[in-house]
Structures are given as structure tokens and as C-alpha cells.
Amino acid sequence: MKVVALATAALLLTAACTPGSDNPGGAASAPSTVKTDAAALGDVSLTVWDQEVRGGQAAQMAELNKQFQAKYPNIKLKRVSRSFDDLKTTLRLALSGNDAPDVVQANNGRSDMGEFVKAGQLVPLDKWADAYNWKSRYPASVLQYSRYSPDGKTFGEGDLYGMPQVGEVVGIYYNKTKLTALGLEPPKTWADFENALGKAKAAGELPMQLGNLDKWPAIHVFGTVQDKHVPAQQITTLAFGRPGASWKTTENTQAAETLVSWVDKGYFNPGFNGQGYDPAWQDFGKGKGVFLIAGTWLQADLQKALGDKVGFLLPPGASADEKPVVTGGTGLPFAVTNKAKNPDAAAAYINFITSSDAMKVLASTGNLPIADASSQQAPAGLAGDIFSAFGTAVSKEGLVPYLDYATPTMYDTIGAALQDLLAKKATPQQFVDKLEADYSKFAGK
Amino acid sequence: MSSPPGEPRKIGYLYILPALLVYGAFLLYPLGRAVHLSLFEWNGITLGKFVGLSNYADVVADAGLRAAFGHALVLIVFYSVLPVVIGLALASVLQRARVRGLGFFRTVVFLPQVVAMVVVAVSWRHIYAPDGPLNDVLRAVGLDSVARGWLGDYTFALPAVGVIGTWFETGLVTVLLLAGMARIPKERYEAARLDGAGAFAEFFAVVLPAVRGEIAVAVTLTVIAALRTFDLVYVTTSGGPGTSTSVPSYEVYHRAFELGQVGSAAAIGVCLTVLIFVITLGVNRLADRGTA
């Protein structure tokens, strides 16, 4: 009884304050004038939270920070770096605290950047974007990943809230030795590609590696197929969760049917829904499988495993010269918080680490720079393939967003729906119905 | 005239005060706060909106969540019932046989408890992989048709996760029961044997009633472990394939930290707490009735 009484007392004590009452929200306003001469800003201390902790990421950040510090000794950088997961879970609290950092790397998605924008915790950067000419530095298809309406509800359009440094794109890794043995060239058209899958199967090779135990890997495979069936504009609208499109179209159903037909024809390794993502690409690295649909983030590992026996290409179109449509995105964008003591200094920092000189540093430290990728001194082999593939995708504005960006729940919905589809627990029709339900519930609001 | 020892009675509260303060600050207050939060629609950042009991109504109405609670109940069989049955058998064998190196076997059986759950999960993920050791063994003995990607199979994913739980909890239960059996006076066995009891009759007449208390403790601990399973599912299947291994704790994490639905997450957490409380209360009532 006492426990109950105490719990009630505790409840009454806390009932007085509504959660979040210390943060009324509302959009942060943009400044009317901006200063771009960082050296003339006086003594400023700038706290930056980033997640560039691994290998080449850490190296580029350290190098760029050193250069920035040397160029602007009046701005004192205080760097706090955490792993992606740590950053994701602590940023929410940090931004609502009084001692918030000035510049943060925030995940693009609705549940991160979208929520922060809604709460007015990030400053729109458009004034600086004009002053520094960021809009010609990065193409619109790249900047859209950091755009939100001021109420945080519309993703992909509206004000600019961040600037990313690196890019990523989902393409097709192929085993050169095996293709040659099959008497095939790297596919130039989508028909070539499907033909190669069939040839590989007939020759007793595993056509494609897939490890879908973690639920999300099939999103990239489906996205790649969908890009060939559905107009890019529709995919973008669906993937940003904006009203005006529908999952229940013949094209989307066809994409799902194609994927199921790949399962029927035995193009994937048996038991793929029970195979982990890492073991799957590691198997590809050991020479099992002719193709692997995966992102550029596997470049370093696959190059190490297969050396010059592995190549990378953008998913080919109906004809060889068709404009590419490819699932891709940006690294985590750097944003300025509303608690930044000197937003001009924060913007100057972001400008510095995304400049064309910075892109060179990124390339030389083994990262995939988001701008000017094709013109960088790319290393030979797989990295060269990836630099030129990404450069093409960006310069031709061919990027379409990840499908799970659409709604806060879409990652789970589409992950589970694809497992169901591939295991034939759901028909292509049921699959698109399920996605439509999630999408329209959100976009219809 | 001095008062008798322990008087005034109220001084007792002073003695428990330090512990009560800690308990209140780290347990009762967070619990009350969770109940409080569960009445709001709150994203963790901006001003929350008071919605009364609607978060709870959603928990009941959500078919996916009901399924998640169902999965947790299935896991009780694997986490609790099976380990107790296996543990009873193992413990009585170890106890009776007076095997050489009992300490060694006890350590081996208990070992899973010492390993971090994430490590356990990663290892079992490897064991269950389509080309993992389990399938290798099955194929080696000609059971190719049985081999599959266990964690990606709609029928077997939940039992496969459950078996990991059985493996993990059996050691704990066995060691608990061994301790209980060691306290049984030799005279009872002797009496049973004089009455002509065999090994089985002896087990049911002497051992089982004597370790009733230990069984209650084991069931309580393992049921709690089953209902709050999170790390195992998070690492092995992320609730898949489809949603066939989703569990309530995973939903709490998912809603609070990934979807920013703090109120709804708190409501699930409170429901889970109540469920665990009711079940363990029932278990202990049953055990107490027997000893009284």
C-alpha cells in the first residue's frame, strides 16, 4: 500500500509540469544579415559535435579542422566526436539543454533533423547559402536531403538546414573474373543485367548475394529495381513522404513482381532472409556470387577482399545513355543550432569543410566527396569506378532518396513488408497496399 | 523509566530512510514519471499534449503490439518452463551421481550467464546462419531438407530465438536447484529408500517438494527475463522476419528513441511492468501456498 501511496505522491509532484514545457518550440528565425568574413568575427569559441570517428572520416575531419584553425586563429574549435549511435541518442537532449553545441551533425531523417526543425532548434542556412554560393557548389538533388519546411513537416523542400560533406549511392558491385568466365561484359543496359543474372544461374553460379536478416538490405535491392520501373519524380515524392503520389500503381506493383520473379528464378542465395548483411557481402568478397547490390560504403572492404577483381556500376537504364536514376544520399549534414553564440562563425566553419578544397582533402583520405567527385584524383580500381559513378549520378541529378525516409514508421514497414514479399508471405499487391497504408496515413495528414 | 527496545515504533522508519531515499530516487520516482509521461503525447523535445489514457487505448487496439505481447508469452515457455524442466533433470543427475569434477560441470552449465547477452546473440546468429554450424551438422547427417536460414524462417524464427533463451537460462536454474537439493537432509532419502522408493518416486516425493522455493525463485527470474527480452531480439532478428519476433521491450526502445513517441513508449513500458508484476505475484502466491 505504501508503495502505491508513494508512487501516487511522486505522480502528483510531477503532474505539475508538462513534459517539454521548458522548450516551447516554434521555428527558429533566420538572421536578416550575415557576415562571411570569419577572420573579422573576433574571438569566438565554436563547439562542434560530429560522428566522424572511423578511419578516413576521422582523418579528414582532423585535417580540415587543423587547416581551419590555422586560417582563422580567432575561432577556437572545440570538437566533440561520438559514434553515430551515440550521437543519435544524445543529440536530442543536448539540443534542448542550455549548453548546446554550436554546430552539430544531424541525421537527415524526419525523426532527427525533422524533429529538430519542428522544435526550432536548427537555424535555416539559406542566407549563408546565398552569401557563400552553396547552391552552385552542390546540385539541387543533393541539397534537397537537408531541406525542410519551417514546421518540419515537409521533407526535401523548403529551407536549407544543413550541408553534408560526403555522398553515398546504391549500385551494383560485380565480380570481374566471374563475368569474364561467363563470357559477359559489365552490363550496359537493364536487359543486359537481367540477362547476366540468368546466364550466371544457368552456369551454376550464384547470381546475386543478399543478406536480409537485418531487414533493411532488401530496401536497397527493391529501390534499385523500382528506379527502373517508376518515374523518378514519383519515387522522390513517395520517399520524402510528400502528398501527391501513390504506392498503388502498376509500375510499383511491377517492380515488386520483378523482385519476386528473381526469387523464383533462384537469383538470390537460399535462406537470404536468415542471412546477415555482413556475412553476405563478406561471402561476395570471398568470391561467392557474381553481383551484389549495395552502397558505396562497402568500397574499402570489398577492395581489400577482391582487389582488382571487383567493379562497381550504376544500375543501368533501358538504354546505355539513359539518364541514371539511382538510390543515394548524403552523409550526415552539418547544421547550426539555435543556441549557437555566433551563427556567422558556425556558418563559416561549415563553408570551410564543404569547400572545393575540402573535397580534395576528403578524396585524398578515402572518402567519397559529394561534389566534384569525377574530377578528383581518384585512386585506381574500385574507388575509381565509384568516384566516376557517383560523379555521374550527381551531375545528372539522378539521385532519388532512400525509401525509408518517407515516414517515421516506414523503415519498419518497408523492411518487414519486403521480408514478407520475398518469402512470399505477401503478394506484390498486398505489398504495395501495406506501403500505401503507411504513406497515405502520414502524407494525408 | 526507559521505554522497551524498539520503541517508539516509528523510529524504524528512520532506519530504513537511507535505503528508501535511494529506492525512491532511482526506482519509484522514475516509475511515477513513466506513468506520468504515458498520459502525454510527447516527442521528447517540444511541449507535450495531455491525452489521458489514449496511449493505453492504442496499446490495446494495436494488433501489432498485441502480437508482440503474444510473442513474449511464447518466450516464457522457452525462457522459463523448459529451463526449469531441464534444470531439474540436470540438477538431480549431478546431485545423485556424485560425478567426479562436479565443480567443473557446474561451471560449464553456468557459463552462459557470465557472457554478455550481445555476445551470446552474435554467436547464435552465426550458428543459425544459412551456411552456419547448425545447418552444416544437419547436412552432414543427411537432413538437407531441414536445413534453412533459421532466423529468417517465419515458423522457426521465434522458437530459434527462444532456444537461445533456454540455453542461457538453464545454467542459472540448474545452479539454483543444485543449491536447493544440497540442503535436503540425507535422512529423507534414506526414509524414502526404506519405503522402497525408486529414483523417480524419490524425486517426486523428496526432491521436488524440497526445492519448491528455489523453483519459485527460478521461475520469477526467468519469466521477468522472458518478458523484458530486448537485446537478444535486437541483435538477432530486429523483430523479423516480417514482424514474427517483435517483442514489447523492442517497441519501447523503438518508439522512444527512433520514432520519438515517448508517451506511447512509456505506456507500453507501464503495461509490461504491470504484466510482469501480476505474473510474478501469481507465481509467488502459488509457491507460498505450498509451503504454508
What is the distance between the alpha carbons of residues A329 and B65, in angstroms, rounded to a whole number? 32
The pLDDT mean for chain B works out to: 89
Residue type present at position B62: D
Helices A250-264 and A217-229 meet at what angle, rounded to 10? Answer: 120
- CA nearest to A263, candidates A298, A231, A225, A229: A225
The predicted pLDDT at position A22 comes to 62
State whether residue B49 is helix, strand or coil.
strand
Mean pLDDT throughout B112-136? Answer: 92
Which of A4, A18, A104, A273 is best to mutate for the B interface (most B CBs within 10 A)?
A273
CA B277 to chain centre: 13
B46–A23 CB contact, under 8 Å: yes
The predicted pLDDT at position A87 comes to 84
Domain A168-329+400-443: give its CATH superfamily: Periplasmic binding protein-like II (3.40.190.10)
A20–B154 CB contact, under 8 Å: no
Partners of A3 on chain B (C-beta within 8 Å) are 28
Listed in order, the ranges of chain A carrying CATH 3.40.190.10 are 41-166+331-354, 168-329+400-443
> Bigger pLDDT: B157 or B45?
B157
Whether B170 has a pLDDT exceeding 70, the answer reads yes
Question: A423 touching B, CB under 8 A?
Answer: yes
> Bigger pLDDT: B43 or B58?
B58
Residues 319-358 of chain A whose Cβ lies under 8 A from any Cβ of chain B: none
The predicted pLDDT at position A330 comes to 92
What distances in angstroms separate CA A412 from CA A225, A247, A419, B251, B287, one per listed residue? Answer: 20, 16, 11, 11, 42
B47–A423 CB contact, under 8 Å: no
Question: B250 touching A, CB under 8 A?
Answer: no
Whether B140 has a pLDDT exceeding 60, the answer reads yes
Single pTM value for the model: 0.85
The predicted pLDDT at position A27 comes to 60
Distance from CA of A4 to the nearest CA of B (A): 9
Pair A408, B225: CB distance under 8 Å: no
What is the distance between the alpha carbons of residues B285 and B292, in angstroms, rounded to a whole number? 11
Pair B75, B229: CB distance under 8 Å: yes
What separation, in Å, do the N-terminal and C-terminal C-alpha atoms of chain B show? Answer: 41
A111–B242 CB contact, under 8 Å: no
Partners of A115 on chain B (C-beta within 8 Å) are 43-45, 260
What's the 3-state SS for chain A?
CHHHHHHHHHHHHHHCCCCCCCCCCCCCCCCCCCCCCHHHCCCEEEEEEECCCCHHHHHHHHHHHHHHHHHCCCEEEEEEECCHHHHHHHHHHHHHCCCCCCEEECCCCHHHHHHHHHCCCECCCHHHHHHHCHHHHCCHHHHHHHEECCCCCCECCCEECCECCEEEEEEEEEEHHHHHHCCCCCCCCHHHHHHHHHHHHHCCCCCEECCCCCCCHHHHHHHHHHHHHCCHHHHHHHHCCCCCCCCCCHHHHHHHHHHHHHHHCCCECCCHHHCCHHHHHHHHHCCCCCEEEEEHHHHHHHHHHHHHHEEEECCCCCCCCCCCCEEEEECCCEEEECCCCCHHHHHHHHHHHCCHHHHHHHHHCCCCECCCCCCCCCCCCHHHHHHHHHHHHHHCCCEECCHHHCCCCHHHHHHHHHHHHHCCCCCHHHHHHHHHHHHHHHHCC
The predicted pLDDT at position A13 comes to 46
CA A104 to chain centre: 17
The predicted pLDDT at position A445 comes to 60
Residues 206-225 of chain A whose Cβ lies under 8 A from any Cβ of chain B: 212-215
What is the distance between the alpha carbons of residues A235 and A262, in angstroms, rounded to a whole number? 22
pLDDT by position in tens, chain A (length 445): 444 554 454 444 444 467 776 655 556 666 678 888 888 898 999 999 998 887 788 899 999 999 999 999 999 999 999 887 788 778 888 888 888 999 999 989 888 899 899 889 999 999 999 999 999 999 888 999 999 999 988 999 999 999 999 999 999 999 999 999 999 999 999 999 999 999 999 999 999 999 999 889 999 999 999 999 999 999 999 999 999 999 999 999 999 999 999 999 999 999 999 999 999 999 999 999 999 999 998 888 898 899 999 999 999 999 988 899 999 999 899 999 999 999 999 999 999 999 999 999 998 888 889 987 777 766 678 888 999 899 899 888 899 999 988 988 898 899 999 999 999 999 999 999 999 999 999 987 6
Band of pLDDT at residue B1, cut at 50, 70 and 90: low
Question: A10 touching B, CB under 8 A?
Answer: yes
Question: A141 touching B, CB under 8 A?
Answer: no
Which letter, b or e, does each residue of A95-110 get, where b requires 16 or more Cβ atoms within 10 Å of its Cβ? bbeeebbbbbbbbbbb
Which of B27, B31, B36 is best to mutate for the A interface (most A CBs within 10 A)?
B36
Question: A254 touching B, CB under 8 A?
Answer: no
Partners of B129 on chain A (C-beta within 8 Å) are 274-276, 279
Partners of B125 on chain A (C-beta within 8 Å) are 213, 276
Band of pLDDT at residue B199, cut at 50, 70 and 90: confident
The predicted pLDDT at position A16 comes to 47
State whether residue B95 is helix, strand or coil.
helix
A23–B129 CB contact, under 8 Å: no
> Cell numbers 567493379 correspond to what residue?
A311
The predicted pLDDT at position A383 comes to 87
What distances in angstroms separate CA A78 from CA A16, A60, A331, one per listed residue? Answer: 38, 16, 21
pLDDT digits (tens, 9 = 90+) for B250-283: 889 888 877 778 999 999 999 999 999 999 899 8
> Bigger pLDDT: B101 or B21?
B21
pLDDT digits (tens, 9 = 90+) for B32-44: 999 999 999 887 7
- Which chain A residue has its CA at the smallest distance from B47's CA? A20
A96 → closest Cβ in B37, B45, B243: B45
Distance from CA of A398 to the nearest CA of B (A): 29
- Grid cell listed for B256: 522512444
A19–B262 CB contact, under 8 Å: yes
Strands A103-105 and A334-336: antiparallel
B45–A279 CB contact, under 8 Å: no
What is the distance between the alpha carbons of residues A192 and A197, in angstroms, rounded to a whole number? 9
Distance from CA of B102 to the nearest CA of A (A): 38
How buried is residue B247: exposed, middle or buried, by Cβ count under 10 Å (0-12/13-18/19+)? Answer: buried
Which residue segments constitute the domains of chain B, with CATH numbers given? 54-291 (1.10.3720.10)
A10–B148 CB contact, under 8 Å: no
CATH match for A41-166+331-354 among 3.40.50.720, 3.40.50.300, 3.40.190.10, 3.40.50.2000: 3.40.190.10
The predicted pLDDT at position B2 comes to 65
Partners of B32 on chain A (C-beta within 8 Å) are 7-11, 13-14
Mean pLDDT throughout B158-174? Answer: 94
